[in-house]
């Protein structure tokens, strides 16, 4: 028995090495099986639906099944940390949104860091819309600035809490325009929009996908959009820049990441597949019409630089607001 144990003890490391080698796949053979995209939010939402659109693009370009898997919870932390710990083999991807680099700035134990991921590509950018109720006496950005200066703090704006894109848009607007709003935090966009329509709050900065149908149906009025270019979905709505408050460049965005240490040839193959999708007019049109998103693109380095810049900007805003990690 002792001899048998000794033989097993000798063979076990060799067997493990052989198994590991058998599981390794040269980057040139990638992909050879199903790829999954992890969405850190509940199924059926905008991020989930967008991920499914891109899953179909990847399936077509890479020739393998691509599934979308929702892992919601913890304001996105559960799904994000899951990908951070996944094998860096290109078979587990992550759809990143505005909150990806912000959460580690707000949560002491976010269970992930930006450095745990390898950027692939930024796929889209979506402006925030500055919206009011359709019967609001405020008809323009100039009206809003005038009303806010006349009675500082009298206008309520809805946000989704500390560090949210709604709050960042509001804060940057207030800082640049030299006005003061009263921020009302909500747990979701739907109750905020309900209160906006009911008059409890007077304005809101919100991602275009959330409010686009309200604007087009006349249930909300858009005073302007963030950024330097008008939205292709709201060509008649001027930018906030055009109306004299320049530099409110807070916007929503989406992109794709892989776990850190994913081999560069795999990252490049994925980047090329996404870029082919972004060159397809049908894909671009579908994403713009469904999600209000303008195409981005670029290299992994471009996306890495973008994330770094957003992280610095958000960190500065959070610090200026005196928000401490919880």
The pLDDT, as a whole number, for residue 249 is 87
The token pair that represents 244 in the structure block: 């004299």
Which residue, among 128, 84, 88, 124, has the nearest Cα to 104 in the 3D structure?
Answer: 84
- CA distances from residue 215 to 184, 193, 219 in whole angstroms, order as listed: 22, 12, 6
The pLDDT, as a whole number, for residue 290 is 83
Same domain, residue pair 138 and 214: yes
Tell me the sheet residues that pair with 97: 254
Number of domains in the chain: 2
- The model's pLDDT over 269-278, given as tens digits with 9 standing for 90+, comes to 999 999 999 9
Same domain, residue pair 210 and 153: yes
The pLDDT, as a whole number, for residue 187 is 84
Same domain, residue pair 260 and 121: yes
- The model's pLDDT over 291-321, given as tens digits with 9 standing for 90+, comes to 888 899 999 999 999 999 989 988 888 888 8
How large a percentage of the chain has pLDDT more than 70? 92
Could you please report the per-residue DSSP string of 51-66?
A: HHHHHHHHHHHHSS-E
Residue 199 domain boundaries: 127-225
Same domain, residue pair 175 and 211: yes
Does residue 19 register a pLDDT over 80?
A: no
Same domain, residue pair 110 and 175: no
The pLDDT, as a whole number, for residue 24 is 55
Same domain, residue pair 162 and 301: no
- The model's pLDDT over 71-81, given as tens digits with 9 standing for 90+, comes to 988 888 999 99
Does residue 49 register a pLDDT over 60?
A: yes
- CA distances from residue 282 to 47, 50, 285 in whole angstroms, order as listed: 19, 14, 5
Same domain, residue pair 92 and 143: no
Cα angle vertex 295, ends 70, 42, to 5°?
15
Structural domain contains residue 33: yes
Taking the C-alpha atoms of residue 80 and residue 116, their distance in angstroms, rounded to an integer, is: 10
Structural domain contains residue 9: no
Instruction: Give the burial string for 89-115 (b: 16+ CB within 10 Å, else e).
Output: bbbbbbbbbbbbbbbbbbbeebbbebe
- The model's pLDDT over 182-219, given as tens digits with 9 standing for 90+, comes to 999 998 888 999 999 999 999 999 988 889 889 999 99
């Amino acid at each position: 028995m002792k001899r048998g144990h000794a033989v097993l003890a000798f063979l076990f490391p060799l067997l493990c090495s052989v198994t590991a080698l058998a599981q390794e796949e040269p980057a040139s053979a990638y992909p050879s099986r199903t790829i999954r995209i992890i969405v850190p939010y509940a199924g059926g939402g905008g991020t989930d639906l967008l991920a499914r659109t891109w899953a179909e693009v990847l399936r077509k370009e890479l020739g393998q099944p691509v599934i979308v898997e929702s892992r919601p919870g913890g304001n996105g932390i559960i799904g994000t940390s899951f990908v951070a710990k996944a094998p860096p083999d290109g078979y587990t991807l992550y759809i990143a949104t505005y909150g990806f680099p912000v959460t580690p700035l707000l949560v002491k134990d976010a269970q992930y860091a930006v450095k745990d991921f390898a950027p692939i590509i930024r796929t889209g950018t979506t402006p925030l819309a500055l919206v009011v109720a359709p019967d609001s006496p405020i008809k323009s950005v100039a009206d809003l600035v005038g009303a806010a200066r006349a009675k500082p703090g009298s206008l309520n704006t809805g946000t989704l809490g500390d560090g949210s894109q709604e709050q960042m848009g509001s804060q940057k607007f207030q800082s640049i325009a030299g006005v003061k709003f009263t921020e009302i935090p909500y747990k979701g966009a739907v109750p905020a929009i309900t209160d906006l329509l009911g008059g409890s709050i007077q304005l809101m900065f919100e991602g275009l996908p959330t409010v686009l149908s309200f604007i087009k149906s006349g249930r909300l009025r858009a005073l302007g959009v963030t950024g330097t270019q008008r939205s292709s979905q709201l060509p008649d709505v001027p930018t906030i820049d055009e109306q004299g408050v320049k530099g409110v460049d807070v916007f929503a965005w989406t992109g794709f990441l892989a776990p850190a240490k994913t081999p560069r040839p795999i990252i490049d193959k994925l980047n090329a597949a996404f870029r082919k999708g972004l060159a397809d007019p049908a894909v671009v049109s579908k994403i713009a019409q469904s999600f209000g998103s303008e195409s981005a693109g670029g290299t992994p380095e471009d996306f890495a630089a973008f994330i770094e810049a957003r992280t610095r900007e958000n960190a500065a805003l959070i610090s200026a607001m005196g928000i401490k990690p919880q």
